[in-house]
Amino acid sequence: MHHHTRIGIIGAGPAGLTLALLLQRSGIPCVILENRSRDYVENRVRAGLLEQNTVDLLRDLGAADRLNVEGLEHHGVILSFNGQRIRVPFDELTGGRGITIYGQQEVVKDLIATALYRGIDILFEADATLIEGIESEQPTIHFTQNGLVHTLSCDFVAGCDGFHGLSRKTMPPDSYREFRHEYPFSWLGILANVAPSSDELIYAYHERGFALHSLRSPSVSRLYIQVDNEDKIEDWSDERIWEELSIRLGAEGWALERGPIFEKSITPMRSFMIDNMQYGRLFLAGDAAHIVPPTGGKGLNLAVADIRWLAEALIHFFETGQTDLLEQYSSNCLRRIWRAQDFSNFMTYLFHKQAEHGSFENLLQKAKFDYIGISKAQATTIAENYVGLKDV
Ligand code: APR
Ligand code: PHB
């Protein structure tokens, strides 16, 4: 069967969904193709740190009713080095900006409900298999759904299909350069039914490796530890995970509460970049174009920041016929992405174990940590990057 729309969006993650809502608000028709089921995308466990800009956009889109009630606002973060703690009060250092903890899958649930309520077409279990004609004015996406082959012709294709998606691979290989950086460690993440032991997030270097204390609700904790890339989830019993977390996050007069773990998984850490996010009528956004290590909590926020630029450029094109913002799309996005890439890399190397404890490299790491406590300038640098720079 053949379909037609103005913007063909591949992927119903945070990028594709926010784009659809912004376009629909301006009267621009779009269709989202998502190869997974609704249930799958709504329950895929990911990170959960929202920058102020992201919260503002979700509110502006009218998709924040539950976020306003259940989201947990944070005004500071705790940084720890082998048990020594420094609190960075980011509201004080950034003129009142903050972050909100709210699981990405909750964001996705809210966006899907809002999009469907507003009549946006989301085709679930619709697998995009080929994008044709991106150099023409009418590209076509081929997809399969329920065993049937379909085509969707459109004015523009938004490739919001994540790191493993089809869109980036559709760009001619010589139209962009790739940069990859693999880190020599992974994160083991858990969700546990236990009240958080800290109101604020704790990022900890420890001589045994990194640990992060985060949370999802007053009764659910989200925690991570650095593990080897070769480690298997079976190597890590619940007991061993709690033991390691307690040691690495430990500080005098503080104890980590334990509870039943109901989700655990290991994720490799990587940085991935391309230096051009557009070719012809195909525009990439979110994980399709870039991956940052999770230590800065930037993944979801970068996806949403790309979409702000893309929606503005497309709306401007349909209103005026001008292509200037479309042409600037890639460079506008890349400024923020490189900034976040650098910050995520900085946080990763500051808090992970890479060198022998007590070695020259490790003592430099400690000097960097100590500097946060000594210098308001350094604490402000961390704070403003962590909450997200407003206008980059
Ligand atoms: N056809 C249709 N859908 C596809 C295809 C395809 N060929 N390939 C991938 N998809 C879908 C995936 O199933 C997924 O739901 O595209 C969607 C991409 O969504 P995300 O991976 O959530 O990516 P994005 O919207 O860019 O959001 C980035 O997700 O991975 C996290 O840390 C990352 O928080 C960041 C956020
Ligand atoms: C999370 O809560 O999942 C989380 C928080 C901060 C990070 C990464 C993940 O840097």
DSSP string over 119-153? T-EEETTEEEEEEE-TTSSS-EEEEEETTEEEEEE
Q: Residue of the nearest CA to atom 4 in ligand 2?
A: 47
CB-CB neighbours of 252 under 10 Å: 7
| Active site (annotated) includes residue 329 | no
Cβ of 49 less than 6 Å from ligand 2? yes
CA of 265 to the centre of ligand 2 (A): 14
- Whose alpha carbon is nearest atom 6 of ligand 2? 297
Ligand 1 midpoint to CA 87 (Å): 34
**203 is known as an active-site residue:** yes
251 secondary structure, DSSP code: B
| Residue keyed to tokens 């640990």 | 211
196 in contact with ligand 2, CB cutoff 6 A: no
150 in contact with ligand 2, CB cutoff 6 A? no
- 353 is an active site residue: no
Ligand 2 in reach of 104 Cβ (< 6 A): no
**DSSP state, residue 174:** G
**324-351 and 299-320 helices, crossing angle to 10°:** 170
Was domain 2-72+101-179+271-345 assigned CATH 2.50.20.10?
no
114 lines ligand 2 (CB under 6 A): no
Residue 101 CA, closest ligand 2 atom number: 2
- Give residue 374's pLDDT: 96
Distance CA 273, CA 336 (A): 12
From start to end of the chain, where are the E strands?
2-4, 7-10, 30-33, 49-51, 72-74, 77-81, 84-88, 99-101, 121-123, 126-132, 140-145, 148-153, 156-159, 178-192, 202-205, 211-217, 220-227, 261-274, 278-279, 282-284
List of residues 6+ apart from 384 with CB closer than 8 A = 90, 93, 94, 97
CA 132 / ligand 2 centre spacing (Å): 37
What backbone phi and psi angles, to 5 degrees, belong to 229?
Answer: -60, -25
What is the distance in A from the centroid of ligand 2 to the CA of 297? 5
CA of 11 to the centre of ligand 1 (A): 5
Q: Do the domains 2-72+101-179+271-345 and 184-270+352-387 sit in the same CATH topology, yes or no? A: no
305 Cα: distance to centroid of ligand 2 (angstroms): 18
Q: How many whole angstroms from 248 Cα to the centroid of ligand 1?
A: 32
CATH of 184-270+352-387, one of 1.10.287.3510, 3.40.50.300, 3.30.9.10, 3.40.50.720: 3.30.9.10
**Average pLDDT by stretches of 10, the chain with 392 residues:** 96 98 98 98 92 95 97 96 96 94 96 98 98 97 97 98 97 97 96 96 97 94 97 97 97 95 95 97 98 95 98 98 98 97 96 94 96 97 94 82
Q: Which of 102, 176, 183, 203 is catalytic?
A: 203
Whether ligand 1 lies within 6 angstroms of the CB of 66 is answered as no
Please give the pLDDT value at position 390.
Answer: 83
Q: Closest Cα to atom 8, ligand 2: which residue?
A: 297
pLDDT, residue 45, reads 85
Alpha-carbon separation of residue 125 from 34, 106, 215, 367 (angstroms): 6, 20, 31, 51
* Any atom of ligand 2 within 6 Å of the Cβ of 221: no
Dihedral of the CA atoms 204, 205, 206, 212 (nearest 10)? Answer: 30
Q: What is the pLDDT of residue 391?
A: 79
Catalytic status, residue 181: no
Nearest to 86, CA basis, from 387, 376, 384, 392 = 376
189 Cβ below 6 A of ligand 1: no
Give me the catalytic one of 74, 150, 290, 352: 74
Domain ranges of the chain: 2-72+101-179+271-345, 184-270+352-387
Q: Give the model's pLDDT for residue 326.
A: 98
The reply to whether 184 belongs to the active site is: no
Q: State whether the beta carbon of 41 lies less than 6 angstroms from ligand 1.
A: yes
For residues 367 and 360, give the distance between their C-alpha atoms in angstroms, rounded to a whole number: 11
Report whether 159 contacts 285 (CB < 8 A): yes
Tell the residue nearest (CA) to atom 19 of ligand 1: 13
Contact 194, 259 (CB under 8 A): yes
Active-site residue, selected from the candidate residues 14, 139, 196, 294: 294
Q: Which of 107, 114, 124, 3 is nearest to 47 (CA)?
A: 107
pTM of the full structure: 0.96
